[in-house]
Amino acid sequence: MRVPAAARTLRARLTAGLVVLLALSCLAVGLGTAAALSRFLVGRLDEQLAASGGRFAATLEHEPHRDGDEGPDARGQAPGTFGARLIGGSVRQAAMVRAGGVGPVPLTTADRHALAAVPADGRGRSLSLSALEEYRVAAVRGDDGDVLITGLPLGPVEETVHRLILVETVVFAVVLAAAGIAAAAWVRLALRPLRRVAATASRVAELPLASGEVAMPERVPDTDPRTEVGQVGAALNRMLGHVENALARRHAGEERLRRFAADASHELRTPVAAIRGHAELALRISEPVPPEVRHALGRIQAESVRMSELVDDLLLLARLDAGRPLESRPVDLTRLVLDATSDAHAAGPDHRWEMVLPEEPVTVTGDARRLHQLIANLLANARTHTPPGTHVTVRLAVRGGTVVLDVADDGPGIPPEQREEIFQRFVRADQGRSRAAGGTGLGLAIVQAVAAAHGGRAELAAAEHTVFRVTLPVSGG
Ligand SMILES: Nc1ncnc2c1ncn2[C@@H]1O[C@H](COP(=O)(O)OP(=O)(O)OP(=O)(O)O)[C@@H](O)[C@H]1O
Ligand SMILES: [Mg+2]
C-alpha cells in the first residue's frame, strides 16, 4: 500500500499519533466506566435480592382461593420480580410480579433444570431462562426445607450501561474531532522553527556553490540551545560557517592557480618566440648545413610554432577565467563563417564543406578575433577528428534574439562516456587519434569560454553524428 506523501510528514504523523493516543485513552475510559457501572448496578441488584431473602417466593406456596389463603403476596415487590419454589430439587411454583398482579411463568424443561442447578447460598448469579430475559437470581433455603429462588431482571442494568456507552461515544467523537484540529494547529506551531531551518537549508542549497567566490549570508534565525530545533539550527549555522570558510579558501586557491597559469604562459611566450625566431633564422642560412642538423632545426621550428599556439591558448583561457573584458565591437558573424569555412576548405580539401547562411548578415557584439578562433576551432575539429570525405555543414541562424551556430559533421561522433566532459581542458575523446592529429584538448574549452564571455553558451547538440551548437545573444554580451 502506498502512503501519500502528505501522510509521511512529521506534522501529519505527530497529529495522527496524538489523536490515536487520545482515542485509545477514550476507549480505555469508556470500557472502564461501563464495566464499573455494570458491576455497581449488578451489585445493587444482588443487595436487593439479599434483602428480599426469598420472601416473594415463599408466598407462592399459598395458591389463591384455596383454604382461604389470599395467594402470593406481591406487595413491596417491583414489577418483573421473579420467584420460584423448589421442593426436592424440582420446581413447584414459578411466578412473576406484573403490573396487574402476579402471573405464572411457563417454564421449559431446560429452564427447570437451570433453576434446580442454582445453589441455595443466597448469592446473586446471572441466569437466562427461555421464558424470561436475562435475570439475576439468588436462592435461599426456606423454613420447611424448600428452596426459594428470587430473580430481578438485568434488562434495566443493560439499558443503563448501553445508554452510558452511547453518550460516551458521542462525547468522545466530538472530543476527538476537536482534539484533532487542535493537535494539528499545535503541531504546526511547534514545528514552525523546524520549517525555518529547512527553508534556510534549501536556500543555501540553491546558491551557486560550484565555483568562484561564494557569499553565504543565509543563517537560521532560531538558535535557542534549550530547544532541539534550536540546536539543529545552531549546528546548521556552524556548518554553514565552516562551508563558507572552505569555499573562501577554495576560491583563494583557484585564484592563485589562475594567476599562476596566466603568469606562466605569459612568461613562456618570450622564450618560445625567441626559439622559434632563432630556428627560422638558422634555417635561412645559405651555407651548407648537414642534413640532420637541418632536419633538427625544422623540427625545432615546427614544435615551437605548436608550443607558441599552446601558450597562446593557455593565456587566453587564463584571461577569460579571470573575467578580463574582451573587445566589444559589432562583428559580422556571417563574414567570419565565410572566411573560416573557406580556410577550412583549403586546409581540408578532402572533406565536403557546406554552409547554410541566412539572407541578412548576422551581427553580434564582441571580439572578432576570439569569435573567429571559436569558429575555426570547431571547423578544425570537424576536419581533424573525422575521416576524409566527411560532410561538414556550418549553419548560422537567428532565432528570437539568439544567434545559433551549428557545426555538424557525419563523422564518427563522440563516444557517449565522453560527452559530459568533452568541453573540459586537455580532454580528448580518442587519445591516440587526437595526438596523431596534433590536438592538445584545449580547442573546445576555448570555444566554451569565448561563448560564455559573449553571454552565450556552447553545447554538444547531437552525438551519434557530431553537432556542436554555439548560441550567442544577437546584441552581444
Ligand atoms: N567533430 C568531431 N568529431 C569527432 N570527435 C571530435 C570532434 N570534435 C571534437 N572531437 C573530440 O573532442 C576532443 C576535444 O576536442 P578539442 O578541440 O577540445 O581538442 P583537440 O581538437 O584534441 O585539440 P586542440 O583543438 O586543442 O588542438 C578531440 O580530441 C576529439 O576527440
Ligand atoms: Mg580541436
Residue 336 predicted with pLDDT over 60: yes
- Shortest-distance atom of ligand 1 to CA 412: 4
Do 232 and 306 belong to one domain?
A: yes
User: Do 308 and 234 lie in a common domain?
Assistant: yes
Q: Given the CA of residue 310, which atom of ligand 1 is nearest to it?
A: 26
Last residue of a domain, one of 296, 324, 352: 324
The finding on whether 439 has its CB within 6 A of some atom of ligand 1 is: yes
Give me the phi and psi of 273, to 5 degrees please: -65, -35
Q: What is the mean pLDDT of residues 261-288?
A: 92
In a domain, 166, yes or no: no
Is residue 167 situated within a structural domain? no
**How close is the Cα of 443 to the center of ligand 2, in Å?**
4
The reply to whether ligand 1 has any atom less than 6 angstroms from the CB of 441 is yes
411 CB within 6 A, ligand 1: yes
Is the Cβ atom of 444 under 6 angstroms away from ligand 1?
yes
438 and 352: one domain? yes
Do 238 and 336 lie in a common domain? no
Residue nearest to atom 19 of ligand 1 (CA): 441
Q: Is 434 in the pocket of ligand 1 (CB under 6 A)?
A: yes
Mark whether 378 and 458 lie in a shared domain.
yes
**pLDDT at res. 160:** 94
Same-domain check for residues 370 and 394: yes
83 lines ligand 1 (CB under 6 A): no
Same domain, residue pair 355 and 432: yes
Q: How far is the CA of 361 from the centre of ligand 1 (A)?
A: 29
126 within some domain: yes
Residue among 307, 310, 381, 450 to mutate when testing ligand 1 (max atoms within 8 A of CB): 381
* Same domain, yes or no: 442 and 385: yes
Question: Which among 379, 383, 385, 424 is the best mutation to test ligand 1's pocket, defined by most ligand atoms within 8 Å of the CB?
Answer: 385
Q: pTM score, two decimals?
A: 0.60
User: Is the C-beta atom of 414 inside 6 A of ligand 1?
Assistant: yes
Question: Is the pLDDT at 219 greater than 80, yes or no?
Answer: yes
The answer as to whether 239 is a domain residue is yes
- Predicted confidence at residue 76, as pLDDT, reads 72
- Looking at the CA of 445, name the nearest ligand: 1
Tell me, in angstroms, the distance from the centre of ligand 2 to residue 297's CA. 27
Distance CA 372, CA 143 (A): 132
Ligand 1 atom at shortest distance from the alpha carbon of 441? 19
Cβ–ligand 1 contact at 410 (below 6 Å): no
Q: Give the rounded percent of residues in the chain with a pLDDT score beyond 90.
A: 53
How much distance in Å is there from the Cα of 380 to the middle of ligand 1? 8
> Does 437 score more than 70 pLDDT?
no
Domain boundary among 275, 305, 324: 324
Residue 83 lies in a domain: yes
- Residues of the chain with pLDDT > 70: what percent? 93
Least confident of 386-390, 398-402, 459-463: 459-463
What pLDDT band is residue 403 in, cutting at 50, 70 and 90?
Answer: very high
pLDDT digits over 29-53, tens only? 999 999 999 999 999 999 988 888 8
- Mean pLDDT over all residues of the chain? 88
What would the mean pLDDT of 349-374 be, rounded to a whole number? 95
Q: Ligand 2 centre from 425 Cα, in Å?
A: 11
pLDDT at 292: 94
What distance in angstroms lies between residue 262's CA and the mean position of ligand 2's atoms? 21
Give the number of the ligand closest to the Cα of residue 423.
1
User: Residue 68: pLDDT above 50?
Assistant: no
According to the model, what pLDDT value does residue 476 have? 42
Residues 309 and 254 in one domain: yes
**Cα–Cα nearest to 322, from 374, 259, 366:** 259
- Residues near ligand 2 ion, CB 5 Å cutoff: 381, 443
* CA of residue 444 to ligand 2 center, whole Å: 6
Same domain, 305 and 370: no
Answer yes or no: do 375 and 449 share one domain.
yes
Report pLDDT digits (tens) over 173-197.
Answer: 999 999 999 999 999 988 888 888 8
Domain CATH code at residue 100: 3.30.450
Residue 312 domain boundaries: 206-324
In a domain, 462, yes or no: yes
46 occurs within a structural domain: no
Spacing, Cα 364 to ligand 2 middle (Å): 24
Domain closes at, from 94, 129, 154: 154
Query: Which numbered ligand comes closest to the C-alpha of 383?
Result: 1
**Residue 452: which pLDDT band, with cuts at 50, 70 and 90?**
very high
Nearest CA to ligand 1 atom 6: 385
Residues 313 and 334 in one domain: no
Answer whether residue 160 is part of any domain: no
Centroid of ligand 1 to alpha carbon of 328 (angstroms) = 28
Residue 434 has pLDDT above 60, yes or no: no
For position 433, what pLDDT does the model report?
A: 53
- CATH number for the domain spanning 250: value is 1.10.287
**Tally of structural domains, the chain:** 3
- As a three-state string, the secondary structure of the chain is CCCCHHHHCHHHHHHHHHHHHHHHHHHHHHHHHHHHHHHHHHHHHHHHHHHHCCHHHHHCCCCCCCCCCCCCCCCCCCCCCEEEEEECCEEEEEEEEECCEEEECCCCHHHHHHHHCCCCCCCCEEEECCCCCEEEEEEEECCCCCEEEEEEECHHHHHHHHHHHHHHHHHHHHHHHHHHHHHHHHHHHHCHHHHHHHHHHHHHHCCCCCCCCCCCCCCCCCCCCCCHHHHHHHHHHHHHHHHHHHHHHHHHHHHHHHHHHHHHHHHHHHHHHHHHHHHHHHHHCCCCCCHHHHHHHHHHHHHHHHHHHHHHHHHHHHHHHCCCCCCCEEEEHHHHHHHHHHHHHHHCCCCEEEEECCCCCCEEEECHHHHHHHHHHHHHHHHHCCCCCCEEEEEEEEECCEEEEEEEECCCCCCHHHCCCCCCCCCCCCHHHHHHCCCCCCHHHHHHHHHHHCCCEEEEEECCCEEEEEEEECCCC
Ligand 1 pocket mutation, candidates 444, 447, 459, 469, criterion most atoms within 8 A of CB: 444
Give the CATH number for residue 415: 3.30.565.10
Q: Is ligand 1 within 6 A of the CB of residue 466?
A: yes
Task: Name which residue sits closest to atom 9 of ligand 1, judged by CA.
Answer: 381
